[in-house]
Amino acid sequence: MRAVAPGKIIVSGEHAVVYGAPAVGLAVDRSAVFELMPQAGEKIAFDLSAAESSSYTLLALRDLKKRVERKYTQFQQGEIGIGYVLNAPADLFRFAFIHALDGLHRSLDSGLVMKLRSTIPMGCGMGSSAATVLSELRALGHYLRVDFKPDWYYEYSLEVERLQHGYPSGIDSYMALHGGCAYFKEGVGEKIPMPTLPMFLVETGMPQASTGECVEAVRAKFGASSIWQDFGGVTEQIRSQLVAGESVGLRESIRENHRLLVEIGVVPEQVAAFVREIEQVGGAAKICGAGSVAGDAAGVLLVLADEPPVALCEQYGYRISSLRGDPLGTRLV
């Protein structure tokens, strides 16, 4: 049983979406693939990469689930930060498996091998964890012969996402599940046309601060600010420009979104300098995730330009690749 789910970028509205402002998301051609295979014995093996593989009994997985849920309660009570809820990123997928299995009240006839392979940069704002969890749930659901509705997938993946991001908006799970481009507000998505102009993905490196840590830092300074109305205004412009197929105005809106992200402190100076150089030659660029409140890296950037800025990326030590939308979302393959 094999399932795939795409990563995503936020075209407009990161951080603001947490405060009820709208966002525009785009599922992209970077994906997570979970393959599920039965094996002899009773253990569940998680083959998460060429270098990471481990096996657990169902009892051990249920113990992990209890520990994680206890820590998340401590986070909600303000006793620990969100970064302490999971001991390791892979615990997210182990939790998702046992949480779904127990929630469905299903038993297994044999052990399983859960094999993950992903082309989504991790920890860079592209919804890697949501895509991975959804591909895992889709493969598991098919294996258990359960006819899940999309709302079930969304709610279960969102429950798991909370363990890593604290208070996720839901846009990562929505985009990975449904694909395409969407206007997203207060948990509800509306499909809109995908961008048609050339897009590039620039990888600046993994941020030193996690998404949850960035969200908490921004909340402390701007939680009650009116700046979220400005973010919302830019997102509404971008929505209209995508519907109308207006590329010139879209670039200017992306530049304005970048300026707002700089203002809330999630764009490191080195990344901001790179964006300035992109703008000087007529392009536009912005971070596509939470950015970072520490260090020089900020995850990935969306770059709109007539030609790929290869030489500039080499100068900064950044990786660049072309980017396209994924219209399909989570599916069996």
> What domains are there in the chain, each with its CATH number?
2-191+327-332 (3.30.230.10), 194-322 (3.30.70.890)
100-143 pLDDT, tens per residue? Answer: 999 888 889 899 999 999 999 887 778 899 999 999 999 999 99
Higher pLDDT pick, 42 / 248:
42
Cα–Cα distance for residue pair 63/235, rounded to 1 Å: 43
Quote the tokens at residue 253. Answer: 């809106």
State the average pLDDT over residues 12-22: 88
State the average pLDDT over residues 186-196: 91
Q: pTM of the predicted model, to two decimals?
A: 0.88
Strands (E), 65-170: 111-118
Percent share of the chain, pLDDT over 70: 99
Is 148's pLDDT higher than 80? no
Kindly list the distances between the CA atom of residue 44 and the CA atoms of 33, 136, 212, in Å, as whole numbers in the listed order. Answer: 18, 13, 29
224-264 pLDDT, tens per residue? Answer: 999 999 999 999 999 999 999 887 899 999 999 999 999 99
When mean pLDDT is compared across 31-40, 42-51, 69-78, 219-228, the lowest value belongs to: 42-51
Cα–Cα distance for residue pair 101/95, rounded to 1 Å: 10
Per-residue model confidence (pLDDT) at position 89: 85
Quote the tokens at residue 218. Answer: 């921004």
Beta bridge partners, 10, equal 25
